[in-house]
Amino acid sequence: MSLHSACWRNATIYTPEGIVNQGTLIVDEDGKITAIGGPELTVEPDLQTFDACGLLLIPGLIDVHIHGGNGYGVMAGEYEQLDGISRFHAAHGTTSFLATTTTAPLDQIKRALQQAAITIQRGVSGAELLGIHLEGPYINEKRRGAQSKSDIRLSTTKELKELFEASDRQIKLITLAPEVNGGMEAVRQLVDWGVTVSAGHSDATYEEVREAVRCGLRHTTHHFNGMSPLHHREPGLAGAGLLLPELTTELICDGIHVHPAVVKLLFELKGPMNVCMITDAVECAGLPDGDYDDVTMKDGHIYLKDGSSLAGSSLTMIQALRNAIRFTGYPLEKVLPSFTQVPSRQIGVDGRKGSLQPGKDADLLLLDRDLNVCATVVGGKTVYRRPAND
């Protein structure tokens, strides 16, 4: 079923202005929202109309940090892999995402960037691929976590330009350690190119983070993980993210990477408009427990086989949404911006994504009252529908 030139009635619609009960949402043939209103909203008689039966209608969730899922991975550098990622995550509430790389040999990174750029132009069958998140290789070895030690590099303007061009200028977000040699210059250069720069896998001091912010740093990667911790004598990157208003903090809300009480602390200190929810999902997300390449997954926890570090997550965005509500005690409407408006703002697509408003893309989810995904709609087209027997 397609929502092109169609209408939903009798939905509980979540908009920036408030919740519309028994609401109506109209989508045009270009997959754009044209009107939202109550049951009194006039609908053209020849418009295809669907009864939402009281389901929740919310903006689609945007994930700016995905490495893979359901056996598919970004670093494979293949269209089928990226399309598989888009389908898997669409079934779990994601309507758009950034393909996220890892620290690897430079040629492999370039191949992944080139394929992602081609895939953006070609399009995928699930969640929309909006661009690329380059995570590494310009990180601090001390805070590398599961990133490859042997492939960590120092940045140069020449090399950054090569990667930017390899991506067809589709890099929207980059994770680096600003304190390493060349880091501050890299921040300035990337900001000039319109890339959002994030501090991650970094051992920066509080003062080094402040300097990076002056250079244009605006984001932190999977906050509290892979960074210098908060200490009462040295706040580190973790403390800087909490205190500096210029920084938006990513968060993996699985209860594994960050304790539920600290999830609540982050929301209380930063506010939902400065928390960017992510999955950091890797290839084995969605698969059974077991050994996969260099990692082991047990009960949804993913570690390097030597047990030295967490290695991404098996989280989905819809589970992260349920967790965030449970961990914080906030209602859906209060945490929702961290999954929608904030990520869209951080990568510069908030003019067309991130909220249900006339003129924006019809990226939306139909959820039941337990926040299970009943349908996922991307650009007015239904890309996932829950099987009838589920």
CATH number of the domain enclosing 43:
2.30.40.10
**Are both 49 and 186 inside the same structural domain?**
no
Q: Answer whether residue 13 is part of any domain.
A: yes
What are the backbone angles phi and psi of residue 368, rounded to the nearest 5°?
A: -85, 180
Rounded to 5°, the CA angle 96-125-357 comes to 40
Q: Could you give the dihedral angle defined by the CA atoms of residues 133, 138, 143 and 144, in that order, rounded to the nearest 10 degrees?
A: 70
CATH number, domain of 285, equals 3.20.20.140
Tokens 């992602």 correspond to 116
311 known ligand binder = yes
Tell whether residue 310 is among the known ligand binding residues.
Answer: yes
Same domain flag for 267 and 360: no
The 3-state secondary structure of 133-184 reads: EEECCCCCHHHCCCCCHHHCCCCCHHHHHHHHHHCCCCEEEEEECCCCCCHH
Contacts of 345 (CB under 8 A, 6+ apart): 354
Instruction: Quote the Cα angle for 41-43-49, to 5°.
Output: 115
User: Is the residue at 390 inside a domain?
Assistant: no
Distance CA 225, CA 136 (A): 15
- Number of C-beta neighbours around residue 80 at 10 A: 10
> Is there a binding annotation on residue 135?
yes
Instruction: Check whether residue 54 and residue 66 sit in a common domain.
Output: no
Q: Is 77 annotated as a binding residue?
A: no
Phi, then psi, of 52 in degrees rounded to 5: -80, -10
Q: With beta carbons less than 8 A apart as the criterion, state whether 235 and 206 touch.
A: yes
pLDDT of residue 3: 43
Determine whether the annotation assigns residue 201 to a binding site. Answer: yes
CA distance 302 to 309: 9
On whether both 271 and 377 belong to a single domain, the answer is no
> Which among 280, 368, 370, 390 is annotated as catalytic?
280
82 with 227, same domain: the answer is yes
Round to whole Å and give the CA distance between 225 and 378. Answer: 31
Helix, strand, coil % in the chain, rounded to nearest 5: 30, 30, 40
pLDDT tens digits in sequence order for the chain, 390 residues long: 344 578 999 999 999 999 999 999 999 999 999 999 999 998 888 888 889 999 999 999 999 999 999 999 999 999 999 999 999 999 999 999 999 999 999 999 999 999 999 999 999 999 999 999 999 999 999 999 999 999 999 999 999 999 999 999 999 999 999 999 999 999 999 999 999 999 999 999 999 999 999 999 999 999 999 999 999 999 999 999 999 999 999 999 999 999 999 999 999 999 999 999 999 999 999 999 999 988 999 998 999 998 889 999 999 999 999 999 999 999 999 999 999 999 999 999 999 999 999 999 999 999 999 999 999 999 999 999 999 876
Are 48 and 74 contained in the same domain? no
305 falls within a domain: yes
Residue 161 makes CB contacts below 8 A (sequence gap 6+) with none
In a domain, 1, yes or no: no
First to last CA, the chain: 18
The owner of tokens 């249900």 is: 356
Do residues 171 and 162 make contact, with C-beta atoms less than 8 angstroms apart? no
On whether both 161 and 13 belong to a single domain, the answer is no
- Reported as type and span, the H/E element at residue 199 is strand 196-199
Asked if residue 190 and residue 102 are part of one domain, the reply reads: yes
Give CA–CA dist 80/84, Å, rounded: 6
- Total domains in the fold of the chain: 2
Evaluate whether 26 touches 43 at the Cβ level (below 8 Å): yes
- The answer to whether position 72 is within a domain reads yes
Query: What single letter denotes the amino acid at residue 196?
Result: T
- Give CA–CA dist 298/218, Å, rounded: 34
CA distances from 51 to 11, 59, 220 (A): 8, 18, 41
Residue pair 85/98 in contact (Cβ under 8 Å)? The answer is: no
Q: Do 132 and 218 share a structural domain? A: yes
Structural domain that includes position 288: 61-346
Is the bond leading into 137 cis (omega within 30 degrees of zero)? Answer: yes
pLDDT of residue 2: 43
d(CA 185, CA 187): 5
Q: Are both 240 and 365 inside the same structural domain?
A: no
Q: Is residue 132 domain-resident?
A: yes
pLDDT at 244: 98
Q: Which residues pair with 152 in a beta bridge?
A: none
**Claim to verify: residue 152 and residue 280 sit in the same structural domain:** yes
User: Is residue 220 located within the same domain as residue 315?
Assistant: yes
Catalytic residue flag (residue 280): yes
